[in-house]
Structure 1
């Protein structure tokens, strides 16, 4: 039986890379005995590819032939997965769907490497050791295994990655903890420049590199500070012991024992009250201290007063630093720099690798925006150049190295619209649907390293935007 049409495609196969433009000449011959119209479609192309045929439809008489030029444009971002695509050039009549023929054309799509490396923080200040978080993103179209290394020009810094390598599928991101150690300098601050490299497990592949700085404080300066502190403490304690005794002795030489009791009492009371900068102690306490100051046991009362004062000051200090609340809406409206909250103890960014949001692969920034309806301001995720886009991407609050949080509470703009994933210092993670991490849980895992705040999905499958207003956290006890 004679086929109603005949189709040839040139070239018969093709090799391409993401972003390439391909052209195929599809020759159609009308093998029927009537006039027919024919169009061509390309089936099985990578997602995001565009096709244009010239002409769109060819009108052919019996035994007549025509060539349709098909132009195919492959997408660049995100790059389609590498591999072989068996594309079908389908020629058929728009009026008689039973008249059709498909010719297969293999297209080999090459792999593309787009690895990015980011180190947080860029500068760590410490003594012998420090820690960084290394984030790697595979923006290419093929899975890759990356081995991590870090070096310094003097080769004085020892480094350990946890884990030592990362397996990343296309459009995925991962993190590793980098711990560094080096002998601290003796009498001058030392800045050590680190080169961090991610080496793909592919022969001849070019490693991706980043930099970080390890600032070490001198060990002698710290010892002098400790010695000076101890010496100052000894001098204060000696003064607290000696001054009441001298006052009591001077009173004994000039006054009778009965008259000397009241001045000694006043002197001891004044000495006791001075460190607290508060009201004088009760008369009874002053009399007891004055009586002791006149004898051999003069030392204990001032020491007891100093001991009483110290816990009061320490309690005030601890109470002041036990927990803090940071207003996340204090930056002006617009994209927020990732280190805006560095002095508060954390960094802000977005993480598009954890939840796939169409068109938001580059949304790695945070922004403060004002709700058009309610007028309320909130912190959310966004693209680097447009604070109004990609609010459904998870928002990351990353605590600084050596500052893992011992308890965390995130305040949402609207309750029950978000969920949170907690990543601990021991590289484990756990969900926190109430946006709260209790101190007991944080202590079990060495503190909170960072949290990811994601939108909750409503019953209809619609994701709400990430919108938070404050962060409450406490240091690891």
Structure 2
């Protein structure tokens, strides 16, 4: 049976990308013996596509041909999924619906890449380590696997992603945990700029990038440096006042000696055989110690008794430091300075929700009313007690050996930073003297719950420190 119409479409196929505008010419020939009114419709277009047809209707006499122009705009956002679409140009009589014909037109929609990366928070302030939540989004129109990485210009930051890659369908996003670690700066804050990349697993693909900042607190608090600077300025001023005074005093002393020499009476010469006595030739008195009945020093240098320990031996002996000697409540950051170290919270070590500013330490009683040292919010000694604790030994006096006594056994671990910038993890909370000495001494330790997500039920609670000086 001969169809009452014939249809051709130009072009016969199309290659496109999201956002493109396509034009098709649909030519219709009326093969019937009556006048017909034809319209055209395009089927199978991606969602969100817009279609305009000129003219709306082709009025054709028998054996007459006409062309309808179809203009199609593909959506930009959200982009249609990439792949092959089979479009249908359906031409149909306006009054006889049984008179129609559909011509297929293949369309290849190319894939596009739109990868975005965002770190939350954008700035983390901490000590040696910090954590971010990284969100990667696929705004393209094809599924993709993204490999995550982060770098800094100085290449001093070590980064770890959990997980290291994510699979994303079009229009979706996923999160990963980024942990960063870097050597502590010595005496001033250090802002380390991080570039975070999410690279598709396709050859030649363009990665998505984001940025973050790791703001590190110095090894020695800046406020102590300011205090040292003020003290140095005071010494300079004191020296400027004292030196002229001393010079003037010495000048006056010389003048007094000269005056005394001028007024000393002249002693006549002594006759032969006659002795002259003078105050300088009189019998000297006994030393003060003898005159006052005190025993004199032993002959031969007077070595100290074996029963009395020397001062040097006492200084090098291990010291037991009671960490709960202060009264209950939040402590000053230099509360243990006389013991040789500073204590503070390290909220950047493990991200504990609501404890971003928990930089203090406190002494609080436990359920058994026994006191312990723990980390705390500066405004509440009982909050944020599972934030890591940073114990930083004062400059020039690293520890030669260390043991910490916890409230709960096997609940904490200790990360140790040595003078040679090496690090070890000590689950026993103890560093022997030979190990510390081989690495130049202990500069600082970070005590934290063994659970790495900050959700441990046991707080960072310590009662005592056994400290051995570096020999």
Normalising by the residue count of structure 1, what TM-score does the alignment of the two structures yield?
0.49
Larger radius of gyration: 2
TM-score, structure 2 length as denominator? 0.49
